[in-house]
Amino acid sequence: MQREEGELETRLERVMGELDRLVNWERRDRTADMGRSLAPVRDLLKRMGQPQDSLRVVHVAGTKGKGSVASLVAAGLSAAGVKCGCYSSPHVERVTERVRVDGEEVCEEQLARALEVALEARARSIEEETPASAATWFDLFTSAAFQVFADQGCDWVALECGLGGRLDSTNVADGDVCVLTNVDLEHTSVLGDTLQAIAEEKAAILPERGVLVVGRGEEETALTAVALATAAAQEGSVRFVEERAGSTFKEHNVRVARAALEEVEARGGPAASALLDQAVISSASLPARAERFAIGGRAVVLEGAHVASSVTGLLDELAREELFGSPCAVVLALGREKDARAVLKALRGHADRVHCTTSHGGPLATGEELAQLGRELGIDARDAGSAREALQAALSGDSSWVLVLGSFYLAGELRPLLLELDQDKCSPSSQTSCSPTPS
């Protein structure tokens, strides 16, 4: 976290400084030798008194939409009158975005206190040479989130997987209801290079006798086969949610969330599925998910999508509106492990020019690397310098609208500027004063 010169370091900044010395796979290239294991986080939580055991959980995995579905589920449960937490990643502007209770970000003091508990547990583990000594940044942050939810007296938590599912830190909690939104080729060096292998990793969040809500129809696909096989092995069940022709990503996410809430009700939880009205849905909106701004009479869309199919779906969805019917200027940053060629191909024919850039903090490709690849594909692509320079170049061009795409690090760097430039759009109120830089 960053602070202005002369300001005193906050408690959360100090704790985050300690945390940032640990292995953080969000900021590093994810490779097959990551050494992923649940042993460190299990040991850590045991030393913290198993705070996750007091919570009922809706566990959400998937390639696209898992954060939105988790947020919608949490909003529905809160509307039903139960205290509900929501854990998601990554954040866009503030690290406190990751931990919310009844729709409100946890305050800095609460998060700092919980992180201190987790760090103290790890310190004891180091002295005793137990598995928690190898706990990563995400292990500790996940454990601290469980501590916050327990301290706040949450009844339910909507829990979004970070990476995969089987060995994700969140998989220490058994979901009363589990959700698999979809699968696509991502993190192939870690999760496998086929849709079946990735689906198997993500579906593995299903506990014994659990129910898995799948955000796809029951047609014969690798995802369907894996879901049914996983449920059979766990003596559980599967519920498929059909995709309706012509529906938007948001509409489909709402249907998946509603199905999950219906399964919550079937397991003795609150009656929340009918409460997903427009007001509740709006309250669950997340930043940098097809988020719109109006700057100088021009529309700007901020989106964190980094998979080609998601980019194609977004462009097709936007093209239904006259405002987005013409080619756009794109500001693009992508992680080094992403399939940049496929993403750039998805942009071909939709972009007047691609302003390639990078962003600090994460393992991203350089602007020149992206621009060179774009030119090889016949795209008007250029290295636009810094993220702000790329946005300025896109806004000063002739395109009728601008798409900022490809990385939540990029979104975190540019969103404060977009809010500042869009005089009609107010930044969400927050109890925090954290840095806008993803941690």
Question: 185 near 84, Cβ under 8 Å?
Answer: no
pTM: 0.90
Distance of CA 435 to the CA centre of its chain: 18
346: left (phi over 0), alpha (psi -120 to 50) or beta: alpha
Domain map of the chain by residue range? Answer: 11-17+37-283, 291-421
* Confidence class for position 23, pLDDT limits 50, 70, 90: confident
pLDDT of residue 29: 52
> CA 432 to CA 429: how far, in whole Å?
9
CATH number of 11-17+37-283: 3.40.1190.10
CA-based nearest residue to 1, from 135, 111, 151: 111
Written as six digits, the tokens of 147 are: 């501590």
Place of tokens 């998989």: 171
284: left (phi over 0), alpha (psi -120 to 50) or beta: alpha
pLDDT of residue 277: 96
**Long-range contacts of range 168-172, CB-CB < 8 Å, 24 or more positions apart?**
168/61, 168/205, 169/38, 169/41, 169/136, 169/138, 169/139, 169/142, 169/143, 170/59, 170/87, 170/142, 170/205, 171/38, 171/59, 171/204, 171/205, 172/38, 172/41, 172/42, 172/45, 172/52, 172/142
Confidence check: pLDDT of 81 > 90: yes
Q: Using one digit for the tens of pLDDT, what is the confidence trace for 260-276?
A: 999 999 999 999 999 99
- Report how far apart, in Å, the C-alpha atoms of 318 and of each of 117, 170, 264, 299, 352 are: 45, 33, 33, 12, 16
- What amino acid occupies position 307? V
CATH number of 291-421: 3.90.190.20
Confidence check: pLDDT of 283 > 70: yes
Order of all β-strands in the sheet with 84-87: 104-105, 99-101, 84-87, 156-160, 56-61, 177-180, 211-214, 237-240
> CA 318 to CA 191: how far, in whole Å?
31
Q: Using one digit for the tens of pLDDT, what is the confidence trace for 158-214?
A: 999 998 899 999 999 999 999 999 998 665 455 656 889 999 999 999 999 999 999
Written as six digits, the tokens of 117 are: 């508990």
* Confidence class for position 88, pLDDT limits 50, 70, 90: very high
Q: Using one digit for the tens of pLDDT, what is the confidence trace for 288-325?
A: 999 999 999 899 999 999 889 899 999 999 999 999 99
Supply the DSSP string of 367-389, one letter for each residue. HHHHHHHHHHTT--EEE--SHHH
First to last CA, the chain: 7
> CA 107 to CA 129: how far, in whole Å?
33
Between 229 and 163, whose confidence is greater?
Answer: 229
Percent pLDDT > 70 in the chain is 90
Lowest mean pLDDT among 5-14, 108-117, 217-226: 5-14
Interval 111-125 mean pLDDT: 98
- Who contacts 300 (Cβ-Cβ below 8 Å, separation ≥6)? 292, 293, 294, 395, 401, 402, 403, 404, 418, 422
Angle at which helix 367-376 crosses helix 340-347, to 10 degrees, equals 60
